[in-house]
Structure 1
């Protein structure tokens, strides 16, 4: 990772620039990552120098204070220490790089062949420093790490530290298949060759940097040494929601995907896996459902509501094209609704054929190939559309849940579910519904916050997130939320455009729900005994949860996932027999998919577009973009 322009080593204040260390003499470079460490940094540097002098020649090492955009006296102290001892260097960044980013920045400029770093609180007993250096310098390991969880260590670990640490390490060993016991002990070393091989691959810039380094080293077959150390916690350890959940948790998922899933994804495998999952999901239903009962429910279905449902769903497609036109218009391109409706048809048909929502990228190809709209604009418009879909579903679900809370409808839902699902108490369901309703209120409030952020010049996101955490992951989490808000901002330039796109989104999803309700009324056994309000509530939640289940790109078109979620909600909320509910779910999904495929085929013929060619083209573009980013890195890389 190259450093940003505003992050560079600086000479001590009011002093001549330091003479770079003699690379022929320096064997070991120790980097001390420091953020607002004015109380301890001087003692840490002096202890480090003294310890290194105990087993290395006086000119065989250097100590680098990797000061990461501090706003206290740490920079001044580091400057003074560097003036007093030419083996000490101050590496400065004008902004937060994150712990991992500061380490990489310093290691890039270090002179030693053995690169060492440890936490500035000196929680690990410094008598282990010689052993740590020796693992690389003498024994020839590529990476070495201290461990607080190996037999032979002496570590004072309070429960508030030990339990989360054990849980995190167990998760890393299980999910990322690491053989190490302790990934986050701040006492590590690696060879220059190992750093050169790994640092471009390690993506995290914050606290997960240590773990990713160790996991990637193991995956590449490098020799990794883990040895027990004496460790005593310094300071107070607090649970940080931003760092521990959004930061570290998301990075585990990201690394698992990159190492275990992404390398195995090919078109043949994804199509085959999607087909297998679809068949397995449907076959699994036969374990709980009597196939003959399902077929019987189909035979009793009234075709008139099904035909009406088909027509209603068909009406939603020109609205999708209209919404897409409004989004593109805000991005500077104006096209006919008919063409854009066809482009949406083709991309959604692609999602039915290919898993992992490969059809999404097809739309960018269609508008580029047939109308010359640049790929970046095509992908930006698609992202904006997806954001509005998510906003609409969440807002509608949150509004219904909030309505249940206000009108005490939670009690009615609890009574219905407890009566339909054996072994479930009404009190438990009522509590769950109230909690869900509370979450719905929070969701709606969050959406309003995101919209306000998108419509304002004030950066509310970072202000709010920073109140929950001061960790370096704040920038990472805030950037994710800001990226989501950018999708709204792309079409929220004016209140009229936002209202127009948002209003059409509500209409699109309202018609989706209406389609399911009409299909549901085609089965007499599904609606007998339910009032119109109950039918609407049951149908709404069934469709909402079913569509959210389809977000997981596990099978083409979410087949199997949608049916399972739809059936569970209709049975639980409406007391509908499982076979009938499943038949309704299958028919609802079939109606929607049939309209999509017919529209997609007609549009492909009209535009002379091949799905396979479109997927190949977009995959090739992704590869070219990745190569370009590697050959011509931006200043921020």
Structure 2
């Protein structure tokens, strides 16, 4: 049985200039109030690139009270602390920053607060009325804002969450550590917030603190990292526990109802019914069946994309995930339904978020590229037959009214999206053929903090997944072919709607239909209206009306567009509702699976 009661961990990353003095001061201070064999000092050296490992090893060899725990890879501040605490021998676990910014005369109070069993957690504070802390504005203002945000969003009673001067009872640490998701700078805050939520006794006491070295607000760590972690923890603690599968299913159903109600703001329901009454119901049903047939292809295409990235899933599950996300896009602004799909595959199949969003990006790029190619091909055909002049006249003012203005806006948007799609494919293909690491250099320009390594790693995973698909010739061809089939069925759906209104599908109408549907789909990429309602119809009408026989006219062209879009939205909504019921998907519960099997276990040196 070990005699060690107190384990002090010193998190060290490139501290060759200070670590020896810090260890010496720590040993001296602990010896002033604890028996000599009752404590240990652990240097938690986190993948350093300087002489810190050599110095820590020498100090451990010279003094039995010193241990060196080494990590070959960067674990992050919180990860290094957890790793060291798990290997510490004491029942009271302490850590503080190696720059000794906090006056060491407070160490006895920190240790004894927990060692005496009076508290489970103790933390120093630089924001209590009794303390003395030299806080320059560039440190004090961000710190005050951060702590105010944590108290407001996470309902913490503490004044200072990031002071690097804390102690934990081992039982409290072992209960809290598995629940903490952050492995970097937010680790301190998450431990304190969750300790309060779990009912542990937390002591906050004032400390005298003097800043050491330079400090600055860091874009990646402070804005992106800490801000997103506050929101994530708030969601986990305050929202997620209130969401049950039954509530989630009910909420999803309500969202679908809202989507239908929103459609009435842009369409006249009575007019839609009149138009439907004038069409052949049997052919409208056929058009719906044709469009529904494209959805298994969407699931199979998504399966091929994920297969290339190393994740092998069934096409039927993925079809359901696509249905749910597209239903969300009919309701949520800014195409937030795409994020819903990333959540579904993460929660149900443990596919990491970077891979989920990367697979979505690949799918979107192929969608836009395919639609652009279809539209461009038909546009060349129209130019070859002399019909392009009529289209140009319509787009530049030859038509008038709300539909014309909406159509002109839509075509401009479509052209911009098409050019962007072609450019994106070019960039992705070019980047897949180079070994240069653009991500890490770009993030490095924004931040020199160690948290930037973590952010760069996430972005690199995202980019690498996209490059994997584009660099695989057979995968590129399969996804491209399935994309062509999907969007061809989308166009065929509209052509069958034309037939339902009694118009024969001659070659000119088929060509115009391909162009109108392609431009309409490009136009609704930007979330200017829910589900693209209005933009799609406007683009469709302004293209169909001048390029087809006069008998069709603006009124019928608009009616066909309304019915075509309504059929597609109805199929999407029905599929989304069915998929939510089938998969019992909770859209608001974060489900964390096991850590990546590829993580490298750090090595230790005692």
| TM-score, length of structure 1 as denominator length | 0.64
State the match for 2:331 in structure 1. Answer: none
* Matches of 2:489 and 2:185, distance apart in 1: 46
Give 1:75-474 correspondences, 5 Å limit: 75-138=53-116, 140-279=118-257, 294-295=268-269, 298=272, 317=295, 320=298, 323-324=301-302, 327=305, 348-349=322-323, 385-392=359-366, 451-452=429-430, 454=432, 460-462=438-440, 464-466=442-444, 468-474=446-452
State the match for 1:615 in structure 2. Answer: 583
User: In the alignment, is the contact (CA less than 8 A) between 2:272 and 2:562 conserved in 1?
Assistant: no
* Matches of 2:361 and 2:141, distance apart in 1: 37
User: In the alignment, is the contact (CA less than 8 A) between 2:147 and 2:161 conserved in 1?
Assistant: yes
Query: 1:479: Cα distance to partner?
Result: 3.4
1:544 counterpart (525, 546, 557): 525
2:457 maps to 1:479:
yes
Gaps of 5+ in 2: 329-336, 374-401, 403-411, 498-515, 543-558, 602-606
User: In the alignment, is the contact (CA less than 8 A) between 1:454 and 1:485 conserved in 2?
Assistant: no
The structure with more radius of gyration = 2
User: In the alignment, is the contact (CA less than 8 A) between 1:453 and 1:485 conserved in 2?
Assistant: no
Aligned residue for 1:230, secondary structure, equals coil
State the match for 2:546 in structure 1. Answer: none
2:2 counterpart (19, 23, 32): 23
* Matches of 2:483 and 2:598, distance apart in 1: 36
Query: 1:207: Cα distance to partner?
Result: 0.9
User: In the alignment, is the contact (CA less than 8 A) between 2:299 and 2:319 conserved in 1?
Assistant: no
Aligned residue for 1:199, secondary structure, equals helix
Give 1:463-612 correspondences, 5 Å limit: 464-466=442-444, 468-495=446-473, 497-498=475-476, 501-502=479-480, 505=483, 543-546=524-527, 564=530, 566=532, 590-596=566-572
Structure 1 residues 398 and 202: CA distance shift in structure 2, 3 A: farther
* Matches of 1:178 and 1:398, distance apart in 2: 52
Query: 1:510: Cα distance to partner?
Result: 9.4
* Matches of 1:179 and 1:228, distance apart in 2: 15
Deviations 1:311-341 (A, max 9, x none): 9956855763674575488689999xxx96x
User: In the alignment, is the contact (CA less than 8 A) between 2:45 and 2:69 conserved in 1?
Assistant: yes
State the match for 2:28 in structure 1. Answer: 50
Give 1:619-630 correspondences, 5 Å limit: 629=594
Query: 1:501: Cα distance to partner?
Result: 2.3
User: In the alignment, is the contact (CA less than 8 A) between 1:320 and 1:508 conserved in 2?
Assistant: yes
User: In the alignment, is the contact (CA less than 8 A) between 1:143 and 1:224 conserved in 2?
Assistant: yes
Query: 1:141: Cα distance to partner?
Result: 0.8
* Matches of 1:275 and 1:141, distance apart in 2: 47
User: In the alignment, is the contact (CA less than 8 A) between 2:8 and 2:41 conserved in 1?
Assistant: yes
Structure 1 residues 313 and 168: CA distance shift in structure 2, 3 A: farther
State the match for 2:17 in structure 1. Answer: 39
User: In the alignment, is the contact (CA less than 8 A) between 1:541 and 1:569 conserved in 2?
Assistant: no
* Matches of 2:326 and 2:423, distance apart in 1: 33
Aligned residue for 1:56, secondary structure, equals coil
* Matches of 2:76 and 2:306, distance apart in 1: 37
User: In the alignment, is the contact (CA less than 8 A) between 2:494 and 2:517 conserved in 1?
Assistant: no
User: In the alignment, is the contact (CA less than 8 A) between 1:172 and 1:252 conserved in 2?
Assistant: yes
Cα RMSD for the two superposed structures: 5.7
User: In the alignment, is the contact (CA less than 8 A) between 2:85 and 2:93 conserved in 1?
Assistant: yes
Aligned residue for 2:17, secondary structure, equals coil
Which of the pair has the greater relative contact order for Cα pairs under 8 Å at 6+ separation? Answer: 2
Deviations 1:319-375 (A, max 9, x none): 63674575488689999xxx96x776655456688995599669x9xxxxxxxxxx8
Query: 1:81: Cα distance to partner?
Result: 2.8
User: In the alignment, is the contact (CA less than 8 A) between 1:567 and 1:585 conserved in 2?
Assistant: no
Query: 1:222: Cα distance to partner?
Result: 0.7
Deviations 1:399-434 (A, max 9, x none): 9xxxxxxxxxxxxxxxxxxxx9xxxxxxxxxxxx9x
Query: 1:196: Cα distance to partner?
Result: 1.7
Query: 1:213: Cα distance to partner?
Result: 0.9
Gaps of 5+ in 1: 1-21, 365-374, 400-419, 421-432, 520-534, 550-562, 577-582, 602-609
User: In the alignment, is the contact (CA less than 8 A) between 1:387 and 1:487 conserved in 2?
Assistant: no
Structure 1 residues 466 and 141: CA distance shift in structure 2, 3 A: same
* Matches of 1:472 and 1:326, distance apart in 2: 36
User: In the alignment, is the contact (CA less than 8 A) between 1:31 and 1:103 conserved in 2?
Assistant: yes
* Matches of 2:241 and 2:446, distance apart in 1: 36
Query: 1:212: Cα distance to partner?
Result: 1.3
Query: 1:594: Cα distance to partner?
Result: 2.6
Deviations 1:221-255 (A, max 9, x none): 11111122222222222333332234323333333
* Matches of 2:311 and 2:450, distance apart in 1: 39
Aligned residue for 1:39, secondary structure, equals coil
* Matches of 1:492 and 1:127, distance apart in 2: 60
Query: 1:309: Cα distance to partner?
Result: 8.7
Structure 1 residues 268 and 209: CA distance shift in structure 2, 3 A: same
User: In the alignment, is the contact (CA less than 8 A) between 1:391 and 1:447 conserved in 2?
Assistant: yes
Query: 1:121: Cα distance to partner?
Result: 1.3
